[in-house]
A and B are shown apart, each in its own frame.
Chain A
Amino acid sequence: MVDETSGSNTAMAWLTEHGDYLFRYALMRLRDEEQARDAVQETLLAAWRANAGFRGDSSVRTWLVGILKHKITDQIRKQIRDRRLSEDMESDPTSSYFNPAGGWASPPGEWRGNPEQLARDSQFRKTLMMCISRLPDMQKEVFSLRELAGEDSETICKACHITTTNLHVIMHRARMALRACLEEHWFNEEQS
């Protein structure tokens, strides 16, 4: 069925047609150009080797993105393992957002804006990525896997060696910090 000699040609064609898309997809989740490029390369290699497995019941791009997602999760898992990342569960960084009585230290503002518009706004995306990159390592990886790579919690817990309870704590901390960062760097600036 699969013409062997056309193998690398096919992969070259995928690179030409979908390379930039895959790269952007990976970059948004990994935030590192080198890692994103590697993920694209590995995806194309894996796709080409598994070419016979492509049944054409989805578009080539969807199929490639499916493979890329696995590569991204692998990269993040490797990051966590190699850099021995972990989250301190003893001290609670979110307490700095509250006064001793448990009330808000600085009141959260009510954001104006519609999600479609903001998601399309490249300046906003840049601000969001900047805020994500400022998160502590573990929160950064977990938040990216959960919200940007759309991984289910079981996969994340396995990849990061954490319990479900820890996952929820980490997501809470990440959301708290991200919200404050976005408020400072986007929503307050915009509305002032």
Chain B
Amino acid sequence: MKSSCQQVSKLVSDAHERQLTLGERLRLRMHLAICDLCRAYARDIRLLKSICGLLEKSAVDDSTCLSEADRARIREALLAAGKKDKNISP
């Protein structure tokens, strides 16, 4: 049976989520062999996946910082917890 691009796009995504069945793998491969558009889609999705993978491993270094107010609030929360938990004076 000939697969539509719509059906194949789901397989392209599923391939990143689970082991495809043998039949699905064949259908996917046969379709990609003849369809430039789905091949482009599969490549785009792979690129998206690897970018997210790189982002996942780290908090990328940029200028975003905790504000002074945020820091102060967290510091206070730590001190309050210190007093409550262990009876330590701040």
A residues within 8 Å of B by Cβ? 4-5, 7-8, 11-12, 15, 19-25, 27-28, 37, 40-41, 44-45, 48-49, 94-95, 97-98, 101-104, 107-111, 113, 115-116, 118-120, 122, 125, 128, 147-150, 153, 164, 167-168, 171-172, 175-176, 178-179, 182-183
B71/A28 in contact, CB under 8 A: no
Please indicate the chain A residues that have their CB under 8 angstroms from the CB of B48 in the complex: 175, 178-179, 182
Name A168's contact: one of B4, B17, B77, B81 (CB within 8 Å).
B17
A45/B78 in contact, CB under 8 A: yes
Could you show 28 A-B contacts with beta carbons less than 8 Å apart? A4-B88, A8-B78, A11-B82, A20-B64, A23-B65, A23-B66, A24-B64, A28-B59, A28-B60, A37-B74, A41-B74, A44-B74, A94-B9, A103-B5, A104-B37, A108-B44, A109-B44, A111-B44, A113-B47, A119-B55, A125-B55, A125-B60, A128-B51, A147-B49, A148-B52, A167-B17, A175-B13, A179-B45
A179/B44 in contact, CB under 8 A: yes
Shortest CB distance A108–B (Å): 4
Known contacts A111-B47, A171-B17, A172-B9; is-contact A8 B66 (Cβ 8 Å): no
B86/A41 in contact, CB under 8 A: no
Cα distance A102–B14 in the bound complex, in angstroms: 18
Cα distance A15–B8 in the bound complex, in angstroms: 48
Which residues in chain B, 16-62, are within 8 Å of chain A measured between CB atoms?
Answer: 16-18, 37-38, 40-41, 43-45, 47-56, 58-62
Q: Chain A residue with minimal CB distance to B56? A: A150
Name B77's contact: one of A41, A107, A148, A167 (CB within 8 Å).
A41
Total residues of chain B contacting the partner, CB 8 A: 50
Cα distance A53–B17 in the bound complex, in angstroms: 34
A172/B88 in contact, CB under 8 A: no
A147/B52 in contact, CB under 8 A: yes
Q: Chain B residue with minimal CB distance to A103? A: B5
- Given A104-B38, A113-B47, 14 other A-B residues pairs in contact with their CB atoms under 8 A: A8-B79, A11-B82, A20-B64, A22-B59, A24-B61, A37-B66, A41-B73, A102-B6, A119-B60, A147-B49, A148-B56, A153-B17, A172-B10, A179-B41
Cα distance A182–B9 in the bound complex, in angstroms: 17
B51/A118 in contact, CB under 8 A: yes
Name A45's contact: one of B7, B64, B77 (CB within 8 Å).
B77
Cα distance A36–B81 in the bound complex, in angstroms: 19
Cα distance A107–B60 in the bound complex, in angstroms: 32
